[in-house]
Amino acid sequence: MSVLGAVFDLNHPAHVVHWHFIELSVANIVVIALMLAVFAAAIILPFPGAARRRRSES
Amino acid sequence: MSIAPSPKTSWTTRTRESAVDALPPEKLLPDSQPSYVASWIYVFGVASIAALIVIIGSGVILSLKGPAWWHYTGVGHFINSIHLWAVELFFFVMVVHLWGKYWMAAWRGGRTRVWITGAVTFLVAVPTALTGYVSQQNFDAQWISTQAKDGLNSVGVGAFFNVTNFGQMYSYHVLLLPAAVVALVIAHVLLVRRHGVVPPFALGTARDSARVSPAVERTPALSGVDGPSPASSGAPS
């Protein structure tokens, strides 16, 4: 924990992004960005063995 | 002295026959899935279930030891952290699963109940997590409960669902809401088994896609072999 604590200083109020009526903490924005990245990767990246299964089917 | 009812009038017979008709064993536990399921976007449903199993396992240990145990033992803190991060992972993968199914229009081909049970599971999981946050027995729980009570009072449910009442919230968190989530997940999985995994949209123009027969979208995903995709089964594409 002390190593993580040295990397991420949490001893301060949360950083917040404010845009009109939308108010999001930076931590939540990071999680949303990660979910979008994982969603895009799941669509783009090939699944192991998928091409072989399609070939055997055709 | 007892008189045995005839097989056709027995409720156990009727229940068994209707259950087997709805979900024969080869559909309930299939040998394989269609080739279009070989995509990363299809793994997030089972990832949600895996996270839910970890949540329930760690939650059972926490409930056996009591709600304050994790405050004064290292092992308790460790189990509590597993519980917390499994919840974070559960929502993470469930949201990606939801996005994937939304953009696939996974309610096609008679799968309306599959979609609804999944969506309701997500909605019930939110208060399940909230009641856990307010059961932590620390300043975080106090802050969250006093903020949440204003929101709940503003919609008129504060008298029935009092987030500052620890006993009520703890009961909701360890029994009522998890039971609802698990029941919904079981119903969701059984419905997926019954209707099969939704096939992808057929490639082609929008007009061609609109002409795809609903029968094609009811692709029998569980035929015992790698079932034909709509494209290879002669469906319009």
Asked if the C-beta of A9 comes within 8 angstroms of chain B's C-beta atoms, the answer is: no
Domain holding B120, by residue range, is 37-201
Q: What is the pLDDT of residue A39?
A: 97
The low-confidence residues of chain B, meaning pLDDT below 70, are: 1-8, 205-237
Residue B46: inside a domain: yes
Residue B51 vs residues B16, B21, B86, B115, B119: alpha-carbon distances, Å: 32, 31, 6, 20, 17
Query: Is B100–A42 a contact, with Cβ atoms under 8 angstroms apart?
Result: yes
Q: Is A27 on the interface with B (CB under 8 A)?
A: no
Is B25 inside a domain boundary? no
From residue B181, how far is each of A17, B26, B123, B197 by CA, in Å? 33, 26, 9, 21
Q: Which of A34, A45, A53 sits opposite B40 (nearest CB)?
A: A45
Minimum CA–CA partner of A31 in chain B: B92
Residue B146 lies in a domain: yes
d(CA B181, CA B120): 9
Interchain proximity B99–A39, CB inside 8 Å: yes
Q: Is residue B22 part of a domain?
A: no
User: Do A53 and B38 make contact, defined as CB atoms within 8 angstroms?
Assistant: yes
Question: Which positions of chain A have pLDDT values less than 50?
Answer: none
How many other β-carbons are positioned within 10 Å of the β-carbon of residue B107? 17
Mutation target among B32, B33, B35, B39 for the A interface, most CBs of A within 10 A: B35
Within a domain: B82: yes
Sequence-distant (6+) residues with CB within 8 A of B74 are none
Which chain A residues are Cβ-neighbours of B43 within 8 angstroms? 42
Q: Which residue of A has its CA nearest to B42?
A: A42
Residue B56: partners with Cβ closer than 8 Å, 6 or more residues away: B178, B182
Q: Which residues of A touch B100 (CB under 8 A)?
A: 39, 42
Residue B200, pLDDT score = 86
Q: Residue B3's pLDDT is what?
A: 66
Beta carbons of A42 and B39 less than 8 Å apart: yes
In-domain check, residue B213: no
Domain count, chain B: 1
DSSP annotation of B9 reads G
pLDDT at B4: 65
Would B231 be classed as within a structural domain? Answer: no
* CATH number of the structural domain spanning residue B152: 1.20.810.10
Number of H helices, E strands in chain B: 11, 0
Question: Dihedral of CA B101/B104/B105/B108: which sign?
Answer: negative
Say whether A39 and B229 touch across the interface (CB within 8 A).
Answer: no
Where exactly are the structural domains of chain A? 2-57
User: What are the pLDDT digits (tens) for B65-82?
Assistant: 998 999 999 999 999 999
- Whether B23 is covered by a domain: the verdict is no
Smallest Cβ–Cβ distance between A54 and the set B35, B95, B100 belongs to B35
